[in-house]
Chain A
């Protein structure tokens, strides 16, 4: 199984600012996934990040709001831009294992 770490684990930010979340995996992976979990809700896929190409975004998510970088096979960042209180969520990084998907510990974001 993959070991995934995320930084920061939590943050409180003011509206209008941006936060970059880092995701580090202990092995090389082709695809990394970013999910959002709003309070009391399930997980929603934001985008899929492949190394060396542009991230692909799901319906309802755009690159200007959630720019993603994927500089190598073990690392990715997700930026939440121009934040509003509606962006308060847990943001989770995930990678594919041989048969299943593994999740990082998440970043709990509160926007005031």
Chain B
């Protein structure tokens, strides 16, 4: 069973701080990695995708990938109360019938003003 592991949290950070969210995955063959944000009662929305080792920055968000360690992280700088949500790590992995997304359990982030 190919797995994606996340700390469920909640992770609490003060407004303006850096939030660090972590994810590990089991399938060494995975090539595509995604971070989704999900507000309560809403569907997931894509925040970041990353395909190569290293960092990828987009505004206040930075995704980091280390394939050797099978580790993906998401940094949120200058955290805002509106960032409070569940963050889902997803890994595209080879399934029996083709590539599929496997999701972690999600990390609840709470940004306190």
B88 and A102 contact, CB distance less than 8 A: no
The CA of A31 and the CA of B45, in the complex, are separated in Å by: 19
Q: Interface segment, A14-22, A38-46, A66-74, A76-84? A: A38-46
B102 surroundings in chain A (CB, below 8 A): 45
Instruction: Count how many chain B residues have C-beta atoms less than 8 Å from C-beta atoms of the other chain.
Output: 22
Provide the B53-88 mask, 1 if CB < 8 A to any CB of A, else 0: 000000000000000000000000000000000001
Looking at the complex, which one of A41, A48, A100 makes contact with B34 (CB distance below 8 Å)?
A100
A45 and B88 contact, CB distance less than 8 A: no
B49 and A106 contact, CB distance less than 8 A: no
B49 and A48 contact, CB distance less than 8 A: no
The CA of A43 and the CA of B36, in the complex, are separated in Å by: 11
B44 and A48 contact, CB distance less than 8 A: no
Provide the B16-46 mask, 1 if CB < 8 A to any CB of A, else 0: 0000000000000000101000000111111
B49 and A43 contact, CB distance less than 8 A: no
The CA of A105 and the CA of B90, in the complex, are separated in Å by: 18
User: Contacts A99-B49, A100-B46, A103-B43 given: A43-B103 contact, CB under 8 Å?
Assistant: yes
Would you give the shortest CB distance from A91 to chain B, in whole angstroms?
A: 11
**Residue among B32, B42, B43, B88 with max Cβ neighbours from chain A (10 Å):** B43
Interface range on chain A (Cβ under 8 Å from partner): 20 to 34
Looking at the complex, which one of A43, A94, A106, A108 makes contact with B88 (CB distance below 8 Å)?
A43
B100 and A48 contact, CB distance less than 8 A: yes
Asked if A25 is at the interface of the complex by the 8 Å CB criterion, the answer is: no
A56 and B97 contact, CB distance less than 8 A: yes
B43 and A45 contact, CB distance less than 8 A: no
Q: Which A residues contact B (CB, under 8 angstroms)? A: 31, 33, 41-45, 48, 56, 58, 90, 92, 94, 99-106, 108
**Contact sample, A vs B, 20 pairs, CB 8 Å cutoff:** A33-B101, A41-B105, A42-B105, A42-B106, A43-B88, A43-B103, A45-B100, A48-B98, A56-B96, A56-B97, A58-B95, A92-B44, A99-B49, A100-B46, A100-B49, A102-B46, A103-B44, A103-B45, A106-B42, A106-B43
